[in-house]
Amino acid sequence: MSSEARVDPFTLREGAVGAPPQHYGNPLGEQRELAAGRAIVDLSDRDILSVSGPDRLSWLDSLTSQRLIGLAPGASAETLLLDPSGRVEYAARVLDDGETAWLLMDAGTGAGFLAFLTKMRFMLRVEVADRSAEFATIGAIGEIAAHPRLESVAAAPNGVPLVWVDPWRSVVAGGFQYAQIDAHPADDWNYFEVLVERSRLHELGSVPAAGMLALEALRIEVWRPRAATELDSTTIPHELDWIRSAVHLSKGCYRGQETVAKVHNLGHPPRRLVLLHLDGSEGVLPSPGDEVLLDSEGGVVGRITAASLHHELGPIALAVLKRSTDPTAALTVPTAGGQVLAAAQQVIVPPDAGAEADVPRLPRLGAVRR
């Protein structure tokens, strides 16, 4: 495909900053429009893989954390590729159209997953391809029918519109939620993504758009993890409450399953995801990777994974902390500019997450019963 065909028309819009645009000059206003279902988000830097062939779903099911066998055409799922120790290597948003499974992935993660899948084909009837040059991802909130222009350009190479609906809104079958809260902030999270042929992106030129900063703020608000932000080389899904949407606890064997089961049933994840409400008086936000300290004199207890200025909540961030960190402790976040931001925790994954199996204690050998 020529470089001319890959030009992103969203970057040509008035006020566009970045490629894809981070904002169009009014980040907070764009947040409100996106949250209200009146704007779309250009995510054309995201990677897209396709897996075709009659063995595609059973093959992906055997390799990754989610039950994908029987995924109906048009249905959405999310799955993780774990290493043998249970650490998350890749995350994919999955959509099947009856002939092809489409894997929607964060920017820069598709090539590695493609290489892994290619090595694991063996004699199975599957074909794997990178389709990022053909299709772009567009995000929106609401129902697809409420976005008629976007609905009209949704790709459907096999007759099923490629619309992925985020399962984060509720605990999926086989999943589990560690957050101990009556009303989860994602209860009303009706986010979806649409694949559009890049040659048709210009047809969305008159549709109001929000920048990626707007989507990031709304994602943080509902505690939704992402591969590009929350993962590091040691992350296990329990730490991010990702079993909620991306892990099936009773499916067949897959790589890393032993760790998933052991931590969930008998142990505790070593770290835990929290939402931080930040002091906004300095007018700055921390950056991903900034340390989180136990008050101004204490040691490092975690790191920032993502931060944003929310149109209602103010400055907020997701952070991964040591499990032992007191949920009521005063925290601070030093920034690269020299400011020190006070931070208050909102617990997502509690310190006692895990150990869900009710395993009776066995008497010690030689113990005398009375």
CA distances from 213 to 25, 210, 309 (A): 11, 8, 9
Evaluate if residue 347 carries a pLDDT over 60: yes
Q: Are 305 and 239 in contact (CB under 8 A)?
A: no
User: What are the structural domains, with CATH classification, of the chain?
Assistant: 9-230 (3.30.1360.120), 270-348 (2.40.30.110)
> Between vectors from CA 350 to CA 324 and to CA 317, what angle results, nearest 5°?
90
Give the model confidence (pLDDT) of 3-25 as tens digits: 334 678 999 999 999 999 999 99
Give the model confidence (pLDDT) of 203-220 as tens digits: 999 999 999 999 999 999
* pLDDT value at residue 122: 85
User: What letter represents residue 269's amino acid?
Assistant: P
Residues 191, 197, 203, 208: what is their CA dihedral angle, to the nearest 10 degrees? 20
- By residue count, the chain amounts to 370
Give the model confidence (pLDDT) of 116-172 as tens digits: 999 999 878 999 999 999 999 999 999 999 999 999 999 999 999 999 999 999 999
> Residue 358 — very low, low, confident or very high, per pLDDT cuts 50/70/90?
low
Q: What mean pLDDT do residues 167-178 have?
A: 98
Could you tell me the pTM of the whole model? 0.93
Short-list 107, 149, 152, 154, CA closest to 132: 107
